[in-house]
Structure 1
């Protein structure tokens, strides 16, 4: 079956446009790990320090020697100043400690000396470290790097037909329990290719001869290495030149990749190339099946390439369809302002019988969103897969993280997390400095920035609670905004600095840093999916109505503390840094 390159590229662009963000991310991960297109990250080498790194870039990337002057200019005038950028601090924090430790070789040196001491041999430590590094690298290459190339093909092949490709497709081989089988098949293919590469042209020929092995395994991971290699060789008979011409037709893109030091490959070429060769495989597969109908025993996954009949889907997903048709008991229970709060923030004023019915409904709906897309033919139907996928239900589903919260419950959660934040800050200072300090602007044991941060994550990100990855990313952004502008507000009002991340890795004006935001993001996830539901369950057992008075009392005390602290804020050694105060005092003195 002759391949029409123009039509194939058109379909590849359509596929890429539908899933651009996902495909670019998938290819970036592959390039970073060295699975494929590893040179895509060559531009990062420009920002490395040392002549050796730059020389390596010129050798590996094949950059024209005429660019040496440009590279040296960048190295001299830009890279030299990288270490002076305050946002890339490496003196404070866990991230900075890791950067320093890795950079100065402390960890390897420690293990080398330990091995030398135990074996009483000055060379043993180095040899053991080398052997360990080689073993880890080999295992990582076999079980992660190589198998990831097959997973990537699965992403692109599914995306040709389906509107949605789930991000958890990365776990495909684990769910079908074929990770070792695929790794072993790829290892066999690579061993054969390496042997052929010892000949003059064998490596080039066998590259195209074995080109379809990852695609075959992506469709049917039960295929052995021998079967996949033999099948790929047979299918590529008469098509190796066509595959080479496809690669040659992208020469202009590869030149652009070199000119942009790999940047264009990250955001277009890698994904475009993968999409094109996915189309190439589908065309070759169709022609091969037309000539060899018995090959359906290997290519037995038809709904990876075409939409399943609706009748077949309705039969396979009969139970799920019944559950999907259940009516949300709270859908029209709230109107006006109450409806606005419930729909957008999951906030209600009291727990009714409808609320409890809603939670039972939510329990059954938690796993149905993905199934709904499959029934609607927007996503690959896993129930029609020839190899059953084992998908465990969400472990935390029984906690009802998608629930609504009463105003009283939210208030109590705010005070609880404010107290937890205070304990966290006090404990850190006690461990690091050996003395107890009442942290925060207020005088009583609570830090409202933690309470507000958690409540904001709970309410403002309510619509993404059933999508944990988005919830986590948005939580980091939200916490960053809250912490940054809280710092700005406190310094503007009190002319005092209560915290500073200067010296922390990836900090922004000393107000926020990557390390802190990562902790807040993880803490926010734990709060949304574990802490808040558990505490809310406890509040309900006690009785929300009984806790109204407790929430009101805490609110009155909190407001009083805020008013008092506005005029007499908590400050001093261990509480504030004194930086802004010192600058202000010196400015007055100079004036």
Structure 2
């Protein structure tokens, strides 16, 4: 395995942060142009979209040696962006039981995670990035003193790790609360059906009514808590959906959007 110096790590991480922030800015501007609403479009709490930073670093490493070949830049950008978006979407849905974006309605899509239209868009962006954006940024970064690079790396790494840890914890709670809402909803529906079909005697009916009231109150409290806790995520990803919690997510989206 080739040796990679600490300075190289510093440069790559700084590229990651710069382009993660730039991606966040683009997402915020795009969202505002569509919905006329300013929202934090980042998956994390901070003003970064890591998928842009990861994509930029991969493109720099893999495609910058071919900066004079437009065909390779375009084709490489098409493949790399599609793979990254597909893997990210698949992993997020697998672990958190929710789909954060969905291209199912777009032509030539792959399982709704990627589609040809946006892959071509990112391929064009890749060419523009390598030819016009990366070179001046690279020159600027290499002018920075080594001591500044080291300090920036340590500080930003700590901030990023704290942010991603808090985000993952929040998404775990997201899944946990949705499980609780689903169980409450199922139990409530079952009890209401029992009452409607008069499957219990009069004595047990009053007990069942009390249980239904309690379940409704518990469901509403948990739903209100979800509205407050996950408002940022829902606003950032208004098309979020789930096969497991579809109706519950739709109800939360109706309350927030």
- Bigger relative contact order, structure 1 or 2 (CA pairs below 8 A, ≥6 apart): 2
Tell me the alpha carbon deviations over residues 27-50 of structure 1, each in whole angstroms, 9 at most, x when there is no partner.
xxxxxxxxxxxxxxxxxxxxxxxx
Task: From the superposition, tell whether residues 586 and 437 of structure 1 become closer, same or farther in structure 2 (CA, over 3 Å).
Answer: closer
Say whether 1:584 aligns with 2:248.
no
Query: Is contact 1:438-1:575 (8 Å) kept?
Result: no
TM-score, normalised to structure 1, is 0.30
Q: Matches of 1:576 and 1:522 in 2, distance apart?
A: 26
Partner of 2:27: 425
Query: Is contact 2:42-2:236 (8 Å) kept?
Result: no
Say whether 1:518 aligns with 2:129.
no
Q: How far does residue 349 in structure 1 lie from its aligned partner after superposition?
A: 4.3
Task: From the superposition, tell whether residues 587 and 503 of structure 1 become closer, same or farther in structure 2 (CA, over 3 Å).
Answer: closer
1:497 to 82, 99, 116: 99
Query: Is contact 1:418-1:446 (8 Å) kept?
Result: yes
Q: How far does residue 503 in structure 1 lie from its aligned partner after superposition?
A: 2.1
Say whether 1:487 aligns with 2:89.
yes
Q: Matches of 2:6 and 2:236 in 1, distance apart?
A: 41
Q: How far does residue 432 in structure 1 lie from its aligned partner after superposition?
A: 0.7
Matches within 5 A, 1:34-433: 337-338=2-3, 349-350=6-7, 406-433=8-35
1:453 to 47, 52, 55: 55
Q: How far does residue 489 in structure 1 lie from its aligned partner after superposition?
A: 0.6
Partner of 1:547: 149
Query: Is contact 2:104-2:112 (8 Å) kept?
Result: yes
Task: From the superposition, tell whether residues 482 and 498 of structure 1 become closer, same or farther in structure 2 (CA, over 3 Å).
Answer: same
Q: How far does residue 584 in structure 1 lie from its aligned partner after superposition?
A: 1.1
Structure 2: unaligned runs, 5 residues or longer: 172-231, 249-257
Tell me the alpha carbon deviations over residues 74-99 of structure 1, each in whole angstroms, 9 at most, x when there is no partner.
xxxxxxxxxxxxxxxxxxxxxxxxxx
Task: From the superposition, tell whether residues 527 and 544 of structure 1 become closer, same or farther in structure 2 (CA, over 3 Å).
Answer: farther
Query: Is contact 1:501-1:507 (8 Å) kept?
Result: yes
Query: Is contact 2:101-2:240 (8 Å) kept?
Result: no
Tell me the alpha carbon deviations over residues 173-209 of structure 1, each in whole angstroms, 9 at most, x when there is no partner.
xxxxxxxxxxxxxxxxxxxxxxxxxxxxxxxxxxxxx
Partner of 1:438: 40
Task: From the superposition, tell whether residues 574 and 448 of structure 1 become closer, same or farther in structure 2 (CA, over 3 Å).
Answer: closer
Partner of 2:109: 507
Q: How far does residue 563 in structure 1 lie from its aligned partner after superposition?
A: 0.7
Q: Matches of 2:27 and 2:123 in 1, distance apart?
A: 17
Q: Matches of 2:125 and 2:147 in 1, distance apart?
A: 29
Q: How far does residue 476 in structure 1 lie from its aligned partner after superposition?
A: 0.9
2:233 to 560, 568, 571: 571
1:558 to 151, 160, 169: 160
Describe the SS at the equivalent of 1:517: helix
Partner of 2:194: none
Query: Is contact 2:100-2:241 (8 Å) kept?
Result: no
Structure 1: unaligned runs, 5 residues or longer: 1-335, 342-347, 351-405
Q: How far does residue 421 in structure 1 lie from its aligned partner after superposition?
A: 1.0
Say whether 1:474 aligns with 2:76.
yes
Q: Matches of 2:238 and 2:160 in 1, distance apart?
A: 21
Partner of 2:66: 464
Say whether 1:527 aligns with 2:129.
yes
Query: Is contact 1:415-1:451 (8 Å) kept?
Result: yes
Partner of 1:344: none
Describe the SS at the equivalent of 2:101: coil
TM-score, normalised to structure 2, is 0.66
Name which one, 1 or 2, has greater alpha-carbon Rg. Answer: 1
Q: Matches of 1:558 and 1:482 in 2, distance apart?
A: 20
Number of residue equivalences: 188
